[in-house]
Amino acid sequence: MSKRTKSQQLQISGTPEGNSSLTATEVETIDHCGLPLPSSAELMGYERACPGAADRIMALAEKQFEHRIEQDRIQQKSDNEFRAMGVVVGIFIVLLFAVIAILFAFTGRQVEALAAIITPMVAFAVAVLKHTSSRSR
């Protein structure tokens, strides 16, 4: 899941005499799990300029990576709780419609009782079809 990207930066500087010099700088970054890291040559340059800089850069990248893992874990837990709540609410609604259908049946309203039984069944069928179609993509 890592990718390398290269970018080039051109600097043109002029002198009062009209001469200009062209300097090209090539920067390579490694993007691993969404964390951009400088190339090894660039890290060595940072280390030469400021001893311990490479360790701090790597420690920062590791902290960001651990934070991202923790956020993904929290999001997954939240998604699972949301799905579980959907199942509980769905079961409650089906039971509620069943009780309503029984009440309608005992009061002699067979058409309403049939509608109260069919409604959650149709909703269940639509939910199952939607779930299976979204998983197949």
Domain ranges of the chain: 2-71, 81-135
**Residues 47/17, Cβ–Cβ less than 8 Å:** no
CB-based contact 41:25 (threshold 8 Å): no
**Residue range 26-52, pLDDT digits in tens:** 444 444 455 678 888 888 888 898 899
Q: Are 104 and 113 in contact (CB under 8 A)?
A: yes
Q: Could you tell me which residue, 95 or 4, shows the higher pLDDT?
A: 95
**What is the percent of the chain with per-residue pLDDT over 70, rounded to a whole number?**
74
In tens, the pLDDT along 56-78 reads: 988 988 999 999 999 999 999 99
Between 27 and 84, residue with greater pLDDT: 84
Contact 38, 4 (CB under 8 A): no
